Amino acid sequence: MTTVVASPVPGRAVPMSEVPDPVFAQAMVGPGVAVEPAGGEQEAVAPIDGTVVTLHPHAFVVAGADGKGVLVHLGIDTVKQKGEGFTLHVVKGESVRAGQPLIRWNPDAVRAAGYSPVVPVIALDAPAEGLSQLRTAGSVTAGAQLFLWN
């Protein structure tokens, strides 16, 4: 079954290799696409239908019914912000729909704190060849397709 993985934030799609963190850039966590987010306060939305299996103020994983898990990391090193500037709308274990707001945040505030606001969107435990139609350039809206997970 093919899973459509949507952008959790509005912005500009960029290749994972451009993420300023080697763990993401070298796809150590898994393959995917990153989004350089638009500025201003915004909602990060669920990239797929599923269950919130991991939830932190700066990152979350939604797992689909087929077990495919998608990690969304709001910025790089934002764990150091200790949740400041992030508002959770869901709890771990909650069922969510693609496009549902999960976390309110402000990429401009992340930048002002000295961190990169880029948002890696990772297909956990997926082989690189399992992804297709990767969007690695151009503007995207929240909820727009980033890639297919076959």
Catalytic residue among 56, 58, 73, 89: 73
* Whole-structure pTM value: 0.97
CATH, domain 3-149, list 3.40.50.11900, 1.10.760.10, 2.70.70.10, 2.60.40.10: 2.70.70.10
The answer to whether 101 touches 72, Cβ cutoff 8 Å, is no
Cα 73 from Cα 150, distance rounded (Å): 22
Mean pLDDT within 84-112: 97
- Is 73 one of the annotated active-site residues of the chain? yes
The pLDDT value recorded for residue 31 is 97
Residue boundaries of the structural domains of the chain:
3-149
pLDDT category, 116, cuts 50, 70, 90?
very high
